[in-house]
C-alpha cells in the first residue's frame, strides 16, 4: 500500500514509543487498528456500491437493447430484406396469379372440364405392362427354393 522500507518503519516505531510512551502505546496501536479496520470496511463498501452501480447501468443498457429489439417488427424486416421493392408481394397479390399460386398444377378443384372435353379417370387408363407378364411372351420366373446345407451332427 504505502512504500515504506523497514528502516522507515523502525524509525516511526521508535518515535511513537518515545512520544506516546510504553504504557499507552498498546492502547494507541489498538485504537489505530480499529480505525484502519473501519476505514477498510468503508472502502470495501464504497467499492462494492460502485461495482453494483456499474452492473446496474450495464443491465439497464442491456434491458434497453432488448426492448428495442423486441419492439422491431421482425416480419417486416425479413420482408424488406427479401423483397425490398415489393415486387414479389405485388405479384403474389395479383388476381390472375392467385389460382396458380394456390394450385401449382394449374388445375383448380372448382374448375371442371370444358364443354366437349373428355374426362379420363384412373380406372380407364391403360395398366403398365409387367416384364414378366404372359402377354409379353416370357414365362414368369420359377420360384427358387433355398438349398439345404448338411449340418454336422
Q: Among all chains, which residue has been given the C-alpha cell 379420363?
A: 120
Q: What is the pLDDT of residue 82?
A: 83
Q: Is the dihedral of CA 123, 125, 126, 130 positive or negative?
A: negative
**145 vs 63 pLDDT, higher one:** 63
| Confidence (pLDDT) at 90 | 81
pTM of the predicted protein model: 0.36
59 pLDDT exceeds 80?
yes
Amino acid at each position: 500500500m504505502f512504500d515504506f522500507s523497514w528502516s522507515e518503519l523502525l524509525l516511526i516505531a521508535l518515535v511513537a514509543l518515545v512520544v506516546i510512551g510504553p504504557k499507552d502505546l498498546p492502547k494507541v496501536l489498538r485504537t489505530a487498528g480499529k480505525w484502519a479496520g473501519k476505514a477498510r470496511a468503508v472502502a470495501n463498501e464504497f467499492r462494492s456500491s460502485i461495482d453494483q452501480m456499474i452492473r446496474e447501468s450495464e443491465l439497464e443498457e442491456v434491458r434497453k437493447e432488448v426492448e428495442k429489439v423486441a419492439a422491431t417488427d421482425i416480419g417486416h424486416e425479413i420482408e424488406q430484406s427479401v423483397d425490398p421493392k415489393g415486387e414479389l408481394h405485388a405479384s403474389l397479390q395479383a388476381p390472375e396469379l392467385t389460382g396458380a399460386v394456390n394450385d401449382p398444377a394449374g388445375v383448380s378443384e372448382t374448375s371442371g372440364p370444358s364443354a366437349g372435353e373428355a374426362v379420363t379417370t384412373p380406372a380407364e387408363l391403360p395398366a403398365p405392362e409387367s416384364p414378366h407378364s404372359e402377354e409379353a411372351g416370357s414365362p414368369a420366373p420359377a420360384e427358387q427354393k433355398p438349398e439345404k446345407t448338411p449340418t454336422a451332427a
